[in-house]
Chain A
Amino acid sequence: MYSGAEPSPVISIDLNSPAPAYRQIVDQIRHLLVEDSLRPGDALPSVRRLAMDLGVHHNTVAEAYRSLAEEGWLEVTQGKPVRVLQRAQSPARNKQERAELQEGYARRLRHLVAEMKASGVSRDWISKLLRSISEE
Chain B
Amino acid sequence: MNISSTPTDISPAGNTQVDRNPLPLGGLRIVDLTHVWSGPSATRLLAGLGAEVIKIEGPSRPDFLRGTGHADVPSRYPDQKHGRDPGNRNAWFNTVNTDKRGITVNLKDPDGLRLLHQMIAESHVLIANYRAGVLPRMGLGYEQLKAIRPSIIVVEMTGYGSVGPMSAMQSYGAQFDAMSGAAWLTGDGKQPLLTGFALSDPVAGLSAACAVVSAVARLRRTGEGCYVEVIQRDAMVPLLGEYVLEASVDDLSPTGLNDAEEACPHGLFQLGDDSWVAIAVEDEPAFHALLDQLDDAARAQLADVGTHASAMIRRDEVNAAVRAWCRRRTDAAALSGQLQVAGVPAGPVSDGRDVYGDEQLRENGFFRRLEHPSAGAHDYPGPPLTLNDQRFAPRSPAPVFDQDTDAVLRAVCGLDADEISALRERGVVGAALS
| A, B: real partners | no
